[in-house]
Amino acid sequence: MASLTPAHIIGRSAVALTVVALIASGTWLYARSWAPSRSDYPVQGVSVSSADGDIEWGTVAAQGADFAYIRAASGAGRDPAYAASRVAARAAGMRFGAVLDYSACRSISDLATLFVTTVPRDNAALPPVIRLDFAPGCAIRPERDKLLADLNTLVNLVEGHAGKPVVLNVSEAFDKQYDIGGGINRTLWLDGNFFPPDYASRPWVMWTASDMRHIDGVDGPVHWNVVAP
């Protein structure tokens, strides 16, 4: 057998790198377009905020989004795009709901006030959502009993305004530290790219199946969510 020369080795390495690059490119393109099967999850939609820029809501609806959850406020304040997005989603014929991002660096009364003064009471709206994750730039980590007591107060204030039970959208890291499903009896919405999540102590009703999906009408990736059948 002929010995390999440096030229042969370099040539084979180049081919291997090309194959790896093609595989990576194909995986990325697949991830950009992937969504769970409609036969498994008939109801699917998006969650968005001002970070997603200008949204063409009619196009988003045409892409198969049955509903939209729109961030209304967070520990940083009101989301400047909420009001316009809410009106546009309604005009596009989509069901919509409001999201409040929890932050331990903002008082419960402040968070509740932000929600109440930003989100009009609307019988046609979807149940409100409280997003539970570790807010960027906030290092406060309350003890579990304190956090659950605060969250129960926030839940009651938001529900009192909305007239509907809240949904708790809990990140894996947050649930690992606080076991939200074991402390607050509300519908759970969990995260997990491509694979259904299993980290909570109770079954989920909603799942963020991808935070990498690209659809027409939105610049950049969106959070694509499904409802358990």
Q: What is the predicted pLDDT for the residue at 168? A: 98
Residues 139 and 72 in one domain: yes
Q: What is the predicted pLDDT for the residue at 101? A: 98
Q: Which domain holds residue 7?
A: 1-33
Residues 29 and 63 in one domain: no
Residues 68 and 8 in one domain: no
Query: 72, 56, 76, 75: which is closest to 125 by C-alpha?
Result: 72
Residues 180 and 70 in one domain: yes
Q: What is the predicted pLDDT for the residue at 9? A: 58
Q: Which tokens is 177 given? A: 């530290």
Residues 76 and 146 in one domain: yes
Query: 56, 93, 70, 107: which is closest to 216 by C-alpha?
Result: 56
Give the pLDDT confidence of 96-118 residue by residue, as tens digits: 999 999 999 999 999 999 999 99
Q: What is the predicted pLDDT for the residue at 19? A: 41
Q: What is the predicted pLDDT for the residue at 20? A: 41
Residues 166 and 142 in one domain: yes
Residues 25 and 84 in one domain: no
Q: How far apart are CA 53 and CA 51, in angstroms?
A: 5
Please, are residues 215 and 63 in contact by the beta-carbon 8 Å criterion?
A: yes
Q: What is the predicted pLDDT for the residue at 33? A: 87
Residues 19 and 122 in one domain: no
Q: Which residues of the chain fall short of a pLDDT of 70?
A: 1-29
Residues 193 and 157 in one domain: yes
Q: What is the predicted pLDDT for the residue at 148? A: 98
Q: What is the predicted pLDDT for the residue at 24? A: 42
Vertex 48: Cα angle to 94 and 226 (nearest 5): 65
Q: What is the predicted pLDDT for the residue at 72? A: 98
Residues 10 and 58 in one domain: no
Q: What is the CATH number of the domain that holds 148?
A: 3.20.20.80
Q: How many separate domains does the chain show?
A: 2
Q: What is the predicted pLDDT for the residue at 13? A: 52
Query: 59, 38, 55: which is closest to 47 by C-alpha?
Result: 55
Q: What is the predicted pLDDT for the residue at 30? A: 72
Cα-Cα-Cα-Cα dihedral sign, residues 61, 63, 31, 81: negative
Under DSSP, the state recorded for 200 is S
Q: What is the predicted pLDDT for the residue at 8? A: 57
Residues 7 and 54 in one domain: no
Residues 178 and 73 in one domain: yes
